[in-house]
Structure 1
């Protein structure tokens, strides 16, 4: 399904489905959640669910893709000269994804960390497709940021987002 061709209305429906799954995953594992439960929680019919998705993992992947698209949209409003691994960009990333902390923690706790990593890797490949020499640095950075972010959230944010961003920026290799 081409994300760029989706309308606002079906984006809203798909986000409702994703949010319904996240809510249900607070109480049950993904494999035990039924499409009927998702449809009821999202306020849609089962037919609508199947119009968009053929699996629950596919729905979760789409929800994550929409989060990343929103991140990219917000990121475009930021200074162009800023580099990914600079403090200000890392802080922006942490603060942006903090609003989806519950989703990330639930995914990790339910053994779906690979879905997160695959989405981040896909994003990095798209972003650095013209810079083959940078892709492994991008994987390094994205994986480190994701892992640090999730563990920061899971442990109750024992230090500030600013402190985490500073630690990451001081240890990250420089990239465009």
Structure 2
């Protein structure tokens, strides 16, 4: 199953959308989401209001789009292929943490700006589309697992990554085993 939600966009369109996404991320670092205007975003991104509205209806759409791009990149690096045994494999968990570490600034900014729900919605959507079809258990278990990994990742980032990624992976694996959370 291939995830290409924006396959009809050109590289120029992608670049423009990334500029808008980066602009809102930068604005969120110094201001409240509710007080950021489309005018603020387009000025920071160096695009027109018409360009903004070509791609988006709201500020939330920008964040959702950027998060979907991150998920699409993750799927590309994994080959869009998941089996449950691989999904909880130590090397897969480590690769996922390292991949999302590249976007830590965005993810932490969204969390700090009380836009955490957009990250969770994107992960839940990912679980439903790409993991659940291969899974024999409850969707609640998948949501629990995704939320636990997300919260562990965000806390690790917030605390300055004082543990190595291998230590975090070992903690996750030990929690899975200790709580009998194997999703196989």
Q: TM-score, normalising length from structure 1?
A: 0.90
Given that residues 17 and 39 in structure 1 are in contact (C-alpha distance below 8 angstroms), is that contact kept between their aligned partners in structure 2?
yes
Query: 1:18-57 residue pairs with structure 2 within 5 A?
Result: 18-57=21-60
SS of match in other structure, 1:49: helix
> Does 4-13 or 150-159 show the bigger shift?
4-13
Deviations 1:11-51 (A, max 9, x none): 22111111111011111111111212211221211110011
Q: Which residue of 1 aligns with 2:182?
A: 174
> Does 113-122 or 78-87 show the bigger shift?
78-87
SS of match in other structure, 1:54: coil
Classify 1:49/1:154 alpha carbon distance in 2 versus 1 (closer, same or farther; 3 Å): same
SS of match in other structure, 1:91: helix
Query: 1:15-94 residue pairs with structure 2 within 5 A?
Result: 15-76=18-79, 83-94=86-97
Q: Which residue of 1 aligns with 2:121?
A: 118
Partner residue of 2:139 out of 131, 135, 142: 135
For structure 1, the residue ranges without an aligned partner over 5 or more in a row are none
Deviations 1:46-102 (A, max 9, x none): 110011111101110000000110011011199989611111111111111111111
- Whether 1:106 and 2:114 are equivalent positions in the alignment is no
User: RMSD of the TM alignment (CA)?
Assistant: 2.2
Query: 1:155-166 residue pairs with structure 2 within 5 A?
Result: 155-166=159-170
Given that residues 16 and 42 in structure 1 are in contact (C-alpha distance below 8 angstroms), is that contact kept between their aligned partners in structure 2?
yes
For structure 2, the residue ranges without an aligned partner over 5 or more in a row are none
Partner residue of 1:97 out of 100, 108, 112: 100
